[in-house]
Amino acid sequence: MSTIKDAINQARANAQDLHKQVMAATGKDQAAIKNDFTNVSTDAQALANSIKETAAAQAQQSDTRAYLSDAVAQIQDAANHAKAAAQAAAPEFSKAKATVIADMTNGLNSLSHAVATQRAAQPGARS
């Protein structure tokens, strides 16, 4: 149980780092953002795959599984949209950028709730 708990905590920490990376990128000029988003796409895909493995590794609470499943889909969306944003023309770029941020925020929020449900399931849970 502690292994899976640690894995979910680690996935959340990785998602927080990726979210920071996305937000840092958005303060740059468009060419630099596009370059950064190519890396974000790769990192988000790797994170989604990692969470999928974590979710499949052990039987967990159904609500934790549901949150992890949502996180996989949302971070996968972030990967796809970051790739599209990196190739988007100027008129569509702002919308594409906002979509990536929303996807990452949603994915991180799902992971955070997965952490909360996992913590609540521990004996003597405090949160």
Shortest gap between Cβ of 105 and another protein (angstroms)? 5
Contacts for 62 with CB less than 8 Å, ≥ 6 apart: none
Nearer to another protein, 38 or 105 (CB): 105
Q: In the complex, what is the shortest distance from the CB of residue 9 to another protein, in angstroms, rounded to a whole number? A: 9
What number of chain residues touch another protein (CB under 8 A)?
21
CB of 15 to another protein, least distance (A): 8
CA 81 vs CA 32, 64, 97, 116: distances in Å: 16, 25, 8, 28
* Residues 14, 86: Cα–Cα separation, whole Å: 22
d(C-alpha 108, C-alpha 16), whole Å:
7
With binding defined as CB under 8 A, does residue 21 bind another protein? no
Length of the chain: 127
- 125 is a contact residue toward another protein (CB under 8 A): yes
Q: Does 116 bind another protein (CB under 8 A)?
A: yes
Q: Does 112 bind another protein (CB under 8 A)?
A: yes
* By the rule CB under 8 A, 35 interacts with another protein: no
| Shortest distance, position 90 Cβ to another protein, whole Å | 15
The backbone torsions φ and ψ at residue 59, rounded to the nearest 5 degrees and listed phi first, read: -70, 135
